[in-house]
Chain A
């Protein structure tokens, strides 16, 4: 059993951060996969991808949006949406208290952040899941914000990109969470009918209700390398079939092989790849920033493509 099997229960709740290695937070960070001790500025420059083994570390929603969107002209949208505890759900703790705690620790109102901005000059609406907020689970607030972001895309005829990372529907909102699957799927279907592009990028991990709705309905479905995505969690499947799961089960490579996604895209290439695709789908030219042009120039000159780094198993 690999490390991730151990920490991924059915609902996939445990944040990678908590189980992280023993190196103290600071200038150095240990890669959870190859255990190399990494110099933090190097890691950040590489979009939180381990320069040694290419492991894509989990990153928060804000960082995700930050590395993806053009620097200029970003605007966060739909910040007024708050979670609702319609059931007054209570287990050992009250859901309301759990929400307050999550809001305090993450600084977010709920698990989805939406922004409008540009990607290499193309106007886009982008949403990103914050996995540290209740395992990125989808309740009313997440479903509603996704839906409004999609409606904004529809109204302005600009593409929607979603970076998902979620354990599934949020249990504490029960059937309201389940119905967010129907709601988000319905608005995506409307985008499809009106030919407004929707790209779904799956990042580790995607399970349950989010997988069985918005994450797999992209015109283009993309996954980051080695991300896990599936309907049922590995534990549930193992308990049901009483068998060990094959190596690589529910990983991006498995999804690609079985036809669920169009491509696996390295985080370093995410901007370029998605911009290239969206430019073609929307018949619009890109407008590379000067910085990016310089970067491309450099890469062509010395051939130092990040993907060329060997991947340790």
Chain B
């Protein structure tokens, strides 16, 4: 099995391997070979289209967790400029699972906050696999309050397997740190736009996800408990994770239909990782458009709308 492709993508992987082989052979400019490559490319893209038009909820969970999926640190330099990272919660530590700082979206100064899983093994360890501890949420809160003071809109990028379940996390009050963010974000007097870019897992995701506009990338997921966790509890076996993913409605299309998510951002064929620049462009355009709308509202109206929306969940 090709590790760069997911299990349901293996037929695509086989074609891509063939294309690569032919490219190696075809260095002598053989016309037949380039024609063959062209046919295979077409076949591969058709196959991708076919596979991706029929993904199960569980397949989408896998795409959202794809090892090559773009993370916050891939997006920040592509969407923003002049990113100055700010560190620390001023109480205990700097949590590398949450990245934050001031940047520009075109000319506009913005506070960007995102969860980062880390790419290489060393990086993943440094980022705690994107599982924030209380100091991460408190850093985010500090930056959001700063954004309010200096009238900077807040953009958050959500991508976490969950807040860190550990002894130190509990000792320092992980529950309170998340709860506090939910409370303050409900009334922070500056626009807040949140985008789920990969995995939005439960309270750990929501802890930076309350605001005026919530968007999801097409193949990102958002759930109250991981499908594995849900399967373990209800079905008594994590093997039922695909069933749990199906039952909980974890995908962007369903959440959009339910009105929990405001918008979905279409991904390149085969997922965001196939064309990071393209998806970054689309995210950037989406943020810019939504900010324009939000900034036209008087702050009190924006806050009233935000509160109204919070109160309406489930109605």
| Binary contact track B226-242/A, C-beta < 8 Å → 1, others 0 | 00011011110000000
**Smallest CB separation, B35 vs chain A (Å):** 49
**Smallest CB separation, A68 vs chain B (Å):** 24
| Binary contact track B168-189/A, C-beta < 8 Å → 1, others 0 | 0111111110111011101100
Residues of A contacting B: mostly: helix
Do residues A144 and B233 form an inter-chain contact, with CB atoms below 8 A?
no
Do residues A216 and B176 form an inter-chain contact, with CB atoms below 8 A?
yes
CB-nearest residue of chain A to B172: A258
Q: Which of B247, B250, B260 contacts A179 (CB 8 A)?
A: B260
Do residues A216 and B179 form an inter-chain contact, with CB atoms below 8 A?
yes
Q: Which residues of A contact B175 (CB under 8 A)?
A: 211-212, 215-216, 229-231, 260
**Assuming the A-B contacts A11-B233, A176-B258, A260-B173, are A217 and B165 also in contact, with contact meaning beta carbons closer than 8 angstroms in the complex?**
no
Q: Which of A86, A91, A176, A212 contacts B174 (CB 8 A)?
A: A212
Residue A90 is within 8 A (CB to CB) of chain B in the complex = yes
**Smallest CB separation, B199 vs chain A (Å):** 14
**Assuming the A-B contacts A174-B249, A181-B203, are A237 and B166 also in contact, with contact meaning beta carbons closer than 8 angstroms in the complex?**
yes
**A305 vs B242: C-alpha distance in the bound complex, in angstroms?**
56
Q: Which residues, 129 to 183 on B, are CB-close (under 8 Å) to A?
A: 163-167, 169-176, 178-180, 182-183
Q: Which of A41-49, A52-60, A113-121, A182-190 contacts B (4 or more CB under 8 A)?
A: A182-190
Q: Which residues of A contact B202 (CB under 8 A)?
A: 169, 178, 208-209
Q: Which residues of B contact A237 (CB under 8 A)?
A: 165-167, 170
Q: Which of B183, B248, B307, B315 contacts A188 (CB 8 A)?
A: B183
Do residues B173 and A258 form an inter-chain contact, with CB atoms below 8 A?
yes
Q: Which residues, 128 to 166 on A, are CB-close (under 8 Å) to B?
A: 139-140, 143-144, 147
Q: Which residues, 182 to 215 on A, are CB-close (under 8 Å) to B?
A: 182-183, 185-190, 192-193, 208-209, 211-215
Do residues B230 and A171 form an inter-chain contact, with CB atoms below 8 A?
yes
Residue A103 is within 8 A (CB to CB) of chain B in the complex = no
Q: Which residues of A contact B210 (CB under 8 A)?
A: 182, 185-186
Contact size range, A: 35 or more
Do residues B203 and A189 form an inter-chain contact, with CB atoms below 8 A?
no
Residue A247 is within 8 A (CB to CB) of chain B in the complex = no
Residue B206 is within 8 A (CB to CB) of chain A in the complex = yes
CB-nearest residue of chain A to B255: A175
**A249 vs B168: C-alpha distance in the bound complex, in angstroms?**
11
CB-nearest residue of chain B to A243: B167
Q: Which residues of A contact B223 (CB under 8 A)?
A: 174-175, 178
CB-nearest residue of chain B to A232: B165
Q: Which residues of B contact A258 (CB under 8 A)?
A: 171-173
Do residues A185 and B203 form an inter-chain contact, with CB atoms below 8 A?
no
Q: Which residues, 4 to 26 on A, are CB-close (under 8 Å) to B?
A: 9-11, 13
Give how many A-B residue pairs fall within 8 Å (CB-CB).
182
**A259 vs B175: C-alpha distance in the bound complex, in angstroms?**
12
Residue B287 is within 8 A (CB to CB) of chain A in the complex = no
**A6 vs B203: C-alpha distance in the bound complex, in angstroms?**
25
**A147 vs B307: C-alpha distance in the bound complex, in angstroms?**
12
Residue B314 is within 8 A (CB to CB) of chain A in the complex = yes
Do residues A236 and B247 form an inter-chain contact, with CB atoms below 8 A?
no
Q: Which of B172, B186, B225, B232 contacts A189 (CB 8 A)?
A: B186
**A260 vs B171: C-alpha distance in the bound complex, in angstroms?**
9
Residue B224 is within 8 A (CB to CB) of chain A in the complex = yes
Residue B31 is within 8 A (CB to CB) of chain A in the complex = no
**Smallest CB separation, A14 vs chain B (Å):** 12
**A190 vs B186: C-alpha distance in the bound complex, in angstroms?**
9
Residue A84 is within 8 A (CB to CB) of chain B in the complex = yes
Q: Which of B183, B229, B235 contacts A92 (CB 8 A)?
A: B235
Q: Which residues of B contact A231 (CB under 8 A)?
A: 163, 165, 169-170, 174-175, 178, 203
**A14 vs B171: C-alpha distance in the bound complex, in angstroms?**
25
**Assuming the A-B contacts A143-B313, A241-B167, are A189 and B183 also in contact, with contact meaning beta carbons closer than 8 angstroms in the complex?**
yes
**Smallest CB separation, B187 vs chain A (Å):** 6
Q: Which residues of A contact B179 (CB under 8 A)?
A: 181, 185, 211-217
**Smallest CB separation, B229 vs chain A (Å):** 7
CB-nearest residue of chain B to A246: B167
Q: Which residues of B contact A260 (CB under 8 A)?
A: 173, 175-176
Do residues B233 and A213 form an inter-chain contact, with CB atoms below 8 A?
no
Do residues A192 and B183 form an inter-chain contact, with CB atoms below 8 A?
yes
Residue A245 is within 8 A (CB to CB) of chain B in the complex = yes
Do residues B167 and A182 form an inter-chain contact, with CB atoms below 8 A?
no
Do residues A89 and B247 form an inter-chain contact, with CB atoms below 8 A?
yes
Do residues A183 and B235 form an inter-chain contact, with CB atoms below 8 A?
no
Do residues A87 and B249 form an inter-chain contact, with CB atoms below 8 A?
yes
**Assuming the A-B contacts A176-B314, A237-B170, are A86 and B182 also in contact, with contact meaning beta carbons closer than 8 angstroms in the complex?**
no
| 9 A-B residue pairs with CB within 8 Å | A92-B235, A171-B233, A175-B255, A175-B260, A178-B202, A185-B183, A212-B175, A213-B178, A213-B182
Nearest 4 interchain pairs by C-beta? A232-B165, A140-B314, A186-B186, A185-B182
Known: A217-B180, A231-B178, A236-B165. 4 other contacts (CB 8 A): A87-B248, A209-B224, A214-B179, A231-B174
